[in-house]
Structure 1
Amino acid sequence: MEQKNIKDWGLYGHACQLRMEQCMSNFYFVACQVFNDPVHGHVEFHPLLIKIIDTPQFQRLRYIKHLGGVGYVFPGASHSRYEHSIGYNVQRGSHKMYLVPCVYLDITPEDILCVQIAGLCHDLDMFDHLVKSNGLEKVMKDYKLDLPKDLEFIKEMIQGPEDTQAVAQSTVLWPYKGRTKDKSFLYEIVANEKNGIDVVKFDYLARDCYHLGIPQGFDYRRCLVFARVCRVNSERHICFRDKELDNLCNMFHTRSYLHRKAYQHRATKIIEVMISDAFSTADEHIQIEGSGGEMFTLSTAKNDMEAYTKLTEEIIDKALKSSEEMAQARQILHRITTRKTYKFLGERDAERPTEVCTNVYVRLYCIKHLCDTVLKHLPKLMSEQFIGVYCKNSDNEVVEAAQKKFDQWDEKLDSQALLFQILMHMSVLSLYTGWRQSNTRKHHIKLKKSERWR
């Protein structure tokens, strides 16, 4: 690192330049492998990430669709969770982006590597099993990770703090064990529990819009450019430039639109219900070998990580080609492939949607002055909740009778009273009830004051 390079970055002053040299001296460089992602372009991967990707537990994500039953409605929605997990790593530039304007943060290569591992494995339910069964502890130590502290840090970024009850009751000052409070902003990169703005969401919004053929109004690249770490109420948080407020609102609008048009599409929900019914009837007949040769059913495979690794969407093909023992499951799945699905009767608004809502605050910073106003044209509520009713029987007379009963819905009745009325007729009409939520959060876009931009 030379003085000329530091000045080219726009950093002046002896103290600032000296601190930058100290930060950069802590970084080491390794040969990375490059992947070509269709959404983000070329992506670099640290050798440790390659070791994780090449494990059977991570390769399992290749055979799990990212959008589940949406692929039966939108033909292009065939991408897997493997692609989504791989695509997250393109956001690695966002971690280094905080380094240039925030040289005092003491970000280490181990911090960045832990954040990358957490993003790569955020869809895995067996991270501990992946590390132990593949002997990755030694490899992690070779790259200077501090075990078990850094393993705890990675799991906290994915799952949150271990003592969630204490956090909810605010009985602890700092619930995390992996990193101290001065690096609180690192917990807002992968799974941001404070406002839901994180790079995992950036990837799946861009990827899902790409495969669904839906235009995206949110520009995550611009958002990352204007992301900074600021001190707010004695804690460091990831904040965004005040002029990015509209762009961030577009992110919530895009998410809400995808829920309404794709994720919670009525045909999608019907197909997912039918797949669930097929799995329920075939549960005891599907045997999966676990550790020690022990056999597990479809519902108990989650209790053994070896059996859980073999649990993928290939089970649907197995059920379609099954013997007479799974005739009922095969019949339900055959109805999906031949588009003879359950009949949609209708949906109604839920009475109390705010029961599942939480407030979301977005902290913004401004170069010249503090931001303490709220734009009036922004929506205060971006949540929807519905009750959808489906008829499993495709007989026209039964469907007509079910439709008449549904049309008798008195919107003034309480939701529970309505469900009770419908359930009384289930034996005759074969109705299925369920909830459909397009957005489970109440998004208040409020400008929070940030102390001086750091």
Structure 2
Amino acid sequence: MEAQNEARSKVFNDPIHGHVELDPLLIKIIDTPQFQRLRNIKQLGGGYFVYPGASHNRFEHSIGVGYLAGQLVEALQTRQPELNIDERDILCVKIAGLCHDLGHGPFSHLFDQAFIPKARPGVEWKHEMASVHMFDHVVESIDLKLEEYGLVLPGDVTFIKEMISPEYTEPLSKATYVLSSSQGPYKGRSKDKSFLYEIVANKRNGVDVDKFDYFARDCHHLGIQNNFDHRRFLQFVRVCEVDGQKHICTRDKEEDNMYEMFHTRMSLHKSAYQHKVNKIIETMITEAFLKADEHIQIAGSGGKMLTLSTAIDDMEAYTKLTDHVFEQILNSSSPQLDEARQILRKIVTRDLYKFLGEIENPTQVCTCEMIPLWKEELAQELLQSREGLTPEDFEVQKITIDYGKSDRNPVEYIYFYSKYDPTEAFKMKSYQVSEFRRKYFSEQTFRFYCKKTDDNTLKADREHFDQWCRRKGFSKASGNI
């Protein structure tokens, strides 16, 4: 424990959680280049171009998740000593919360959900994977002696990685790991501590401290009301056994609060994450990155040079890849980056692809396979008023917004307990749920944009779009959203 005695904890003044004190080992990780890069990765990707207050980054979010992870596991330790939660468990949970987003690329989810699938089709890659690799890179790059902080290797390291990425399994080699077809069994902790895996990334019902922080933080910076109170959850959280498995539960009277959590998620997606301007800006950034990909050179390990899309294969190169690549392209004078530069200039001058309208798809009869045909038909429709349009001049996006469990009520997946018997867990019955609750929990729309529409032709183009929608029999056609 010599290293822990030499190091000291630090206090951060966080706008969401107040004064946050973190352990010496967490401070050691925070002070690495791999963690500091998160200062330069926007939490909401292109959302900053829509919401002026959305300037917060993955850095402060990660600190918040590390803090809340500690708060939750320490609450369980105090409330239920019989769970045998020890200091190693607590430290591992805190580290997993702190490091869960180390693997995010430029503009957060834009990179792993939009850019990489198009730049490297067929490559199985998620930011959770990269977080595990980046955690290894942190440990190796500073020769971090985890055992000097009381951890037991390799079990505790495996436990941390399993919490960061619930699909993690033991590595086949030093650089890769395979995906498990199930959520367990885990190797880092025994079955009697399986509930610890529900704290940072809860794949069972989505109730975890990652969401607690980004709901509160995103609402704060976006100026959106957050009706979910994670502090109440911490007051009532406890562990119960269900069918031989231990799960995190909350009081039955907290059903309203839990519903508000998922309602907040839906509201954030509708108002911000899936905002029509935000989504088209992220589409334009993705297009620019794809055009710039092979012309951006990043030095990796051993002096090897990698591109935007291949940097994910080398954590030394990936450490250098942040949102700054946007300015790198925008301010470049290289002829090879001219096409990408022109797209980014359109963003900063607000010369965006124009929104024509959207169609509702309540029965989900429309599929992404129809998009190429729709583009061809729209090109022909708009040619009635002007020339030069091709199917490539249209962008069609499929938008799905739900409460976190597709078309199901996510509260159905939560275990509750009553004050009369805090050891017995149960799920809410349908007759116990308020009639004020909504009956549908998912909606799907297709949005249509035109890349060559300007303000002078926008009105006519939207009229032609409406005519096309009516002939197709679509339930909704609106260009005024």
TM-score (norm: length of structure 2): 0.74
Tell me how far apart the structure 1 counterparts of residues 222 and 100 of structure 2 sit (CA, whole Å): 23
Equivalents in 1 of 2:407, 2:143: separation in Å? Answer: 40
SS of residue in 2 equivalent to 1:100: helix
Q: Is 1:306–2:316 an aligned residue pair?
A: yes
Note the 1:362-381 alignment, pairs <5 A. 362-368=414-420, 373=429, 374-377=432-435, 378-381=437-440
Tell me how far 1:401 sits from its aligned partner. Answer: 4.8
Distance 2:253 2:268 in 1: 25
**Which residue does the alignment assign to 2:355?**
344
- Which secondary structure does the structure 2 equivalent of 1:120 belong to? helix
**Which of these residues, 11, 15, 18, is aligned with residue 34 of structure 1?**
11
In 1, Cα distance between equivalents of 2:142 and 2:151: 17
> Which amino acid counterpart does residue 344 of structure 1 have in structure 2?
F
Q: What is the alpha-carbon distance in structure 1 between the residues aligned to residue 264 and residue 450 of structure 2? A: 31
- 1:101: how far off? 2.4
Q: 1:357 — aligned with what?
A: 406
> Is contact 1:43-1:89 (8 Å) kept?
no
Q: Tell me, what secondary structure is at the counterpart of 1:197?
A: coil
- Residue aligned with 1:240, SS: strand
Q: What is the CA distance between 1:93 and its match in structure 2?
A: 1.9
Shift of residue 175 of structure 1? Answer: 1.4
Structure 1, unmatched stretches of 5+, are: 1-27, 169-173, 416-454
Report what 2:394 is aligned to.
none
Work out whether 1:315 is the aligned partner of 2:364.
no
- Judging changes above 3 Å, is the alpha-carbon distance between structure 1 residues 311 and 407 closer, same or farther for their aligned structure 2 residues? farther
**What does residue 158 of structure 1 align with?**
164
Three-state SS of the structure 1 residue aligned to 2:205 is coil
Aligned positions, number: 381
SS in structure 2 at match of 1:322 = coil
- The reply on whether 1:74 has 2:51 as its aligned counterpart is yes
Q: Which runs of 5+ in 2 are unaligned?
A: 103-129, 170-178, 365-399, 476-481
Contact 1:161 1:176 in 2 (8 A): no
What value does the CA root-mean-square deviation take over the aligned residues?
Answer: 2.5
Compared CA separation, residues 32 and 263, structure 1 to 2 (3 A): same
Pairing of 1:23-422 with structure 2 (within 5 A)? 31-91=8-68, 92-124=70-102, 125=130, 126-136=134-144, 138=145, 140-162=146-168, 165-167=180-182, 174-323=184-333, 324-350=335-361, 351-352=363-364, 357=406, 360=410, 361-368=413-420, 373=429, 374-377=432-435, 378-395=437-454, 396-397=456-457, 400-401=460-461, 404-405=464-465, 407-409=467-469
After superposition, the C-alpha distances for 1:206-254 in whole angstroms (9 at most, x for unaligned) are 0001111111111111111011111122211110001111011111111
- 1:167 aligned counterpart, secondary structure: coil
Which amino acid is 1:391 matched to?
A: C
Q: Taking structure 1 as reference, are residues 146 and 380 closer, same or farther at Cα in structure 2, changes over 3 Å only?
A: farther
Letter in 1 for 2:209: V
Q: In 2, are the aligned partners of 1:85 and 1:119 still within 8 Å (CA)?
A: yes
Q: 1:242–1:364: 8 Å Cα contact kept in structure 2?
A: yes
CA contact (8 A) 1:101 1:228 kept: yes
User: Any idea what the Cα deviations from partners look like across 1:317-339, whole Å, max 9, x if unmatched?
Assistant: 11111113212211111111111
Q: 1:317 to 1:403 in 2, by over 3 A?
A: farther
**Distance in 2 separating the partners of 1:330 and 1:177:** 48
Shift of 1:315: 0.8
Quick one: structure 1 residues 127 and 384, their matched pair in 2 at CA, closer, same or farther if it must change by over 3 Å?
farther
Cα pair distance change 1:87/1:244, threshold 3 Å:
same
One-letter amino acid matched to 1:131? V
Structure 1 residue 32, shift from structure 2 partner: 2.1
Is the contact between residue 356 and residue 465 of structure 2 (CA under 8 Å) also seen in structure 1?
no
- Superposed displacement of residue 100, structure 1: 2.4
User: 1 CA distance for matches of 2:76 and 2:471?
Assistant: 51
Q: Percent identity?
A: 54
- The answer as to whether partners of 1:239 and 1:363 remain within 8 angstroms in 2 is yes
Partners of 1:411 and 1:106 lie apart in 2 by: 66
